[in-house]
Structure 1
Amino acid sequence: MNLRVNHYDANPSVYETMMVLEAHIKKSGLDPSLYELIKLRASQINGCSFCINMHGEHLLKKGEHFERILLLTVWREVSVFSDKEKAVLQLTECVTNISECGVPDHVYQNVRAHFDEKQYVDLIMAINTINSWNRIGIATGMSPGCLL
């Protein structure tokens, strides 16, 4: 895919607004590696090649095992993710595909077994933020290696 428009050059305030969201999540106390897993899983679901590439690389640089990155799409079927991570990945899928079935009560309860109410809302904001980045990336034609 060819880059259609450089969103930063065309409208820098959009990028700055997204960075405010990123700063909020960073201040929330959400584990940075867990946030990268959220980013990668949502990007896989949305088909954002730019973000898949970027967040896979971020996880590798943070020392994440290649096996966990490779198996993220089948997280339900493998034992390399903790129950806490699996709860977050399921929430990520539900929020990313919100029109399909919302967030069922069992998903909410599973997440709440590991996170308090504030952290639950922080997770939702983290998922919303990467979904927004994905939509910007896909709509503007971003792909791995494109120059911004």
Structure 2
Amino acid sequence: MSVQLTREQFYAQQPQITRSLRELYEASTQQLDERLVCLVLLRSSQLNGCAFCLHMHDEHARRVGETPDRLAQIAAWHEARCFSERERAALAWTDALTQLAIHAPSEAQRAQLAEHFSVEERVNLSALIVTINSWNRFAVGFSFTPGE
């Protein structure tokens, strides 16, 4: 009996889970710029140590016009000057929701988010973060291979 679970085995075992996560992703990305979506996906995947998702979303980000310089600075976005205030608010929210066990989102983070995103966008952004955190946990938990 193999302890390694391939993506194909995962998908075949519970197709409804895969379908539901894809539907949540599709719904959550409405009204959000695709480059911003990529930044959020990459940041959450960095925090969760998900090599599979980092590989996949880095390729996606480059396809939609994200620059290698900005991609290299996501890990240090707090001090990087290449991100807009809107992007910084999204990245701060990503950090907060991805690291709930360390600290809950602050009132200042909620205010920063509200300054740059509508209510619907905040819900969509939060759902996107929930989605990538779910995918990260499956990919890391089952050791999905980057580039697979």
TM-score, length of structure 1 as denominator length: 0.92
Q: Do the aligned residues in 1 keep the contact of 2:56 with 2:147 (CA within 8 Å)?
A: no
Task: Say if 1:42 and 1:130, in contact at 8 Å, map to a contact too.
Answer: yes
What displacement does 1:33 show? 1.1
2:141 pairs with one of 135, 139, 142:
139
Unaligned runs of 5+ residues in structure 1 are: none
How many Å apart are 1:127 and its aligned residue? 0.5
Q: Distance in 2 between matches of 1:62 and 1:29?
A: 16
Aligned equivalents of 2:105 and 2:134: distance in 1?
A: 18
- For 2:145 and 2:110, how far apart are their aligned partners in 1? 33
Residue 106 of structure 1 corresponds to which residue in structure 2? 108
Match of 1:4 in 2: 5
User: Does 2:127 align with 1:125?
Assistant: yes
Distance 1:145 1:79 in 2: 30
The reply on whether 1:22 has 2:25 as its aligned counterpart is yes
- Structure 2 distance, partners of 1:87, 1:3, is 38
Runs of 4+ more than 6 Å apart:
none
Measure, in 2, the Cα distance between the counterparts of 1:22 and 1:117.
18
Aligned amino acid, residue 133 of structure 1: W
- The superposition leaves residues 60-109 of structure 1 with CA deviations (integer Å, 9 ceiling, x where unpaired) of 11111100001110011111100110110000000000121111000010
Q: CA RMSD in A?
A: 1.3
Q: Is the 8 A contact 2:52 2:146 kept in 1?
A: yes
Q: How does 1:64-79 map to 2 (within 5 A)?
A: 64-79=66-81
1:91/1:107 contact within 8 Å kept: yes
In structure 2, stretches of 5+ residues that fail to align are none
Displacement of 1:36 after TM fit? 0.9
What SS does the corresponding residue of 1:142 show, helix, strand or coil?
A: coil
Distance in 1 between residues matched to 2:142 and 2:45, nearest whole Å:
15
3-state DSSP of counterpart to 2:101: helix
SS in structure 2 at match of 1:100 = coil
Amino acid at match of 1:134: N
SS of residue in 1 equivalent to 2:144 = coil
